[in-house]
A = this chain, B = another copy of it.
């Protein structure tokens, strides 16, 4: 009954092809029956929200934005559930902690910090390969020896979501 939250992380300034990839990723997340979690602002966050919205429609309760500021109106227009936190960049920590798995698209230092925190919290992580930005560099890599697995690489949105489905499925079958 509890929703499975898939975080999409990436830069607040995204152009093609990152924007399009994020849109597709948001859409695939909804198609797969998941709920989208993101930082709620512009760029990759907005694109993923818009893609999710294109599939989920109005009032789905499946597009969640964890905002850095105190004002819910900072959210991009596709966010259903805005969670203004008032804790600034530290909200990245909460995106990582609250997700069941993370998909990273391009991005810079903010994305890198979220990706590293998601690793600390033991979350499955998929990065989109072969686009600019810092996250793609981590495909196939481990960040330290606290985990046996590695960050997965995917070449497109559908593949990324399929990997997440497989990783979460494995996890639940073990439990």
Chain A residues within CB distance 8 Å of chain B:
1-3, 5, 11, 35, 58-62, 64, 66, 70, 72, 75, 77, 79-90, 93-94, 97-98, 100, 107-110, 112-113, 116-117, 119-121, 133-134, 143-146
* B88 in contact with A86 (CB, 8 Å): yes
Residues of chain B contacted by A66 (CB below 8 angstroms): 83
* A120 in contact with B89 (CB, 8 Å): yes
* B116 in contact with A110 (CB, 8 Å): yes
A9 to B145, CA, bound (A): 18
Residues of chain B contacted by A93 (CB below 8 angstroms): 85-87, 89-90, 93
A70 to B119, CA, bound (A): 13
6 contacting pairs across A/B (C-beta < 8 A)? A1-B77, A61-B80, A64-B81, A70-B121, A87-B94, A93-B93
* B87 in contact with A90 (CB, 8 Å): yes
Q: Report the minimal beta-carbon distance from A148 to chain B, rounded to whole angstroms.
A: 14
Contact partner, A61, options B60, B117, B119, Cβ 8 Å: B60
Residues of chain B contacted by A121 (CB below 8 angstroms): 70, 86, 89
- CB closest chain-B residue, reference A134: B143
With A134-B143, A144-B134, A146-B108 known as contacts, the answer to whether A83 contacts B86 (CB < 8 A) is no
Q: Which of A60, A83, A121 has the most CB of B within 10 A?
A: A83
Q: Report the minimal beta-carbon distance from A150 to chain B, rounded to whole angstroms.
A: 12
A99 to B59, CA, bound (A): 18
With A86-B94, A87-B90, A93-B90 known as contacts, the answer to whether A144 contacts B70 (CB < 8 A) is no
